[in-house]
């Protein structure tokens, strides 16, 4: 004997199947455990579809009104947590349709006129991804704003710039912060670009071939905030590029978060002591009372593994599918849901860390002068003031660095006589360029580290976000 839930599930399919599904088949086939997250989008799509069917004369206005009222009640149940989700009904679409039938009777069956679950799920999923794109845009704007605050406060604070994690040249704290503004602004533009490209409505493509009913796809597209209806019904139900693009942009963004996290982990260590992270984003040790572990940064650093894994997962699902819909595509949602959750959490945590972190200016300044970081300034001075070819200036500077290294002093601590023993034409004016402050102030080229350039770029980005 079949259960009531199985009878209900079979009735949704009509008369084609007489036997109840095997328990294993039910287990592998059901998606309600995760796709119930599409409930709000499913109801929005159904509302728009019902209104269009009424406008086109396919449904009567009383039927449209009954469907709309029933869907409103279902939305309220879902928001209140009282909606009776059923695994036997497989997915969110069938759950909502069955509940609508319980509320308004057979009229509920008219809602599925001129559509299929294929275009329905594609529409719901697009709406959900589009909502997440908007959420990410807001989150990235907040993170960029936190970096701008840091950049403006530290526009003239000197710190070491690194290549190969070795001291290279002095830069300003503000300049380093602005590098991340540029990085996350590119992320923001990628998400925005993906949103433009994906904003076509699949609704009305039906199963794969369109429909013979006189529907108005422009109307439903407009009602749901799409720019236009998708132009090919086969592609409309087959396309998951929008989800893959979201995951691609999310993977790049998570990579940037991971790089930033790595710097925060290094900078907050006792060996570097460049920054102090807020107590809100660090933890203690169960055995070592002196520890302040940058756990939030470390967890953000790890999120890229999950997010990038989600992208690979969906690409692998889609790579061998023929047109149009295949059940494989049910596997599209969980990776996207997980990636969206992970990225949203990481962006929130990172925004808090950046907003609250305190640079150790004294330590940064001291470290900026280590490793003969103004050697390039010395070489540039030799070129500019003595008209020396740069390769010759590079050789002279290298000799002077070796001398300072042997003496155990910084470049600016060499005497004029020491310098003239390597290059007799050097004058006392050379000492004006050997401090880390002079070095950063001199880098006034567009995009350079000079405080005035940092403030200009910060002002430009303030106006853009």
Dump strand ranges (E) for 194-312: 200-201, 228-229, 275-276
| 164 is an active site residue | yes
| Contacts with 274 (C-beta within 8 Å, 6 or more apart), sequence order | 159, 266, 267, 268, 359, 360, 363, 364, 367
Q: Which residue shows structure tokens 């923001």?
A: 188
User: How would DSSP label each residue in 293-361?
Assistant: B-HHHHHHHHHHHHHHHHHHHHHHHHTTPPSS--GGGGGGHHHHHHHHHHHHHHHHHHHHHHHH-EE-H
| Calpha distance 110→91 (Å, rounded) | 19
| Calpha distance 338→63 (Å, rounded) | 38
Among residues 285, 326, 415, 425, which one is catalytic? 285
| Cβ atoms 56, 146 nearer than 8 A | no
> Phi then psi for 360, rounded to 5 degrees?
-90, 90
| Calpha distance 195→245 (Å, rounded) | 9
Q: Distances in Å between the alpha carbon of 461 and those of 19, 49, 218, 328?
A: 63, 41, 37, 43
Look at phi and psi of residue 33 and say left if phi exceeds 0, alpha if psi is from -120 to 50, else beta. Answer: alpha
| Contacts with 178 (C-beta within 8 Å, 6 or more apart), sequence order | 147, 151, 454, 457, 458, 461
| Calpha distance 121→38 (Å, rounded) | 9
Helix (H, G, I), strand (E, B) or coil at 166: strand
| 285 is an active site residue | yes
Q: Distances in Å between the alpha carbon of 367 and those of 305, 370, 436?
A: 33, 5, 10
| Calpha distance 429→432 (Å, rounded) | 6
| Calpha distance 31→177 (Å, rounded) | 43
For residue 159, the tally of other CB atoms under 10 A from its CB is 27
Among residues 164, 286, 445, 463, which one is catalytic? 164
Which residues are designated catalytic?
164, 285
């Amino acid at each position: 004997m079949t259960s009531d839930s199985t009878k209900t599930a079979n009735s949704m399919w009509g008369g084609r199947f007489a036997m109840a599904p095997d328990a294993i088949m039910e287990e592998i086939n059901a998606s309600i455990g995760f796709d119930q997250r599409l409930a709000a989008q499913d109801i929005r799509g159904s509302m728009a579809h019902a209104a269009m069917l009424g406008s086109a004369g396919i449904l009567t206005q009383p039927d449209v009104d009954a469907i709309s009222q029933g869907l409103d009640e279902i939305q309220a149940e879902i928001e209140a947590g009282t909606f009776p989700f059923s695994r036997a009904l497989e997915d969110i679409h069938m759950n909502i349709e069955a509940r609508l039938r319980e509320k308004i009777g057979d009229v509920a069956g008219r809602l599925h006129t001129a559509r299929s679950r294929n275009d329905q799920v594609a529409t719901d999923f697009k709406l959900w991804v589009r909502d997440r794109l908007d959420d990410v845009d807001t989150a990235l704007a907040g993170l960029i704003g936190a970096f701008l605050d840091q950049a403006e406060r530290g526009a003239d604070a000197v710190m070491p710039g690194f290549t190969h994690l070795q001291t290279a040249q002095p830069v300003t704290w503000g300049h380093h912060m602005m590098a991340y503004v540029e990085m996350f602004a590119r992320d923001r533009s990628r998400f925005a670009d993906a949103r433009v490209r994906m904003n076509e409505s699949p609704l009305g493509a039906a199963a794969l071939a369109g429909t013979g009913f006189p529907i108005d796809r422009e109307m439903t597209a407009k009602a749901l905030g799409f720019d236009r209806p998708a132009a090919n019904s086969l592609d409309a139900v087959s396309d998951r590029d929008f989800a893959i693009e979201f995951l691609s942009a999310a993977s790049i963004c998570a990579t940037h978060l991971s790089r930033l996290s790595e710097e925060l982990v290094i900078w907050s260590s006792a060996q570097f002591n460049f920054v102090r992270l807020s107590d809100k984003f660090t933890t203690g040790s169960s055995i070592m009372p002196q520890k302040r572990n940058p756990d939030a940064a470390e967890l953000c650093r790890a999120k890229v593994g999950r997010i990038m894994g989600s992208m690979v997962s969906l690409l692998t699902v889609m790579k061998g599918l023929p047109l149009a819909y295949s059940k494989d595509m049910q596997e599209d949602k969980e990776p996207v849901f997980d990636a969206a959750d992970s990225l949203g959490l990481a962006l929130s945590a990172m925004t808090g860390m950046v907003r609250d972190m305190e640079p150790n200016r004294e330590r940064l300044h001291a470290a900026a002068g280590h490793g003969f970081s103004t050697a390039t300034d010395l070489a540039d001075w030799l070129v500019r003031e003595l008209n020396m070819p740069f390769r010759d200036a590079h050789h002279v500077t290298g000799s002077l660095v070796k001398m300072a290294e042997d003496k155990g002093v910084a470049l600016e601590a060499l005497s004029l006589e020491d310098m003239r023993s390597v290059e007799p034409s050097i004058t006392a004016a050379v000492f004006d360029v050997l401090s880390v402050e002079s070095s950063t102030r001199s880098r006034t080229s567009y995009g350079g580290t000079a405080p005035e350039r940092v403030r200009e770029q910060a002002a430009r980005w303030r106006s853009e976000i």
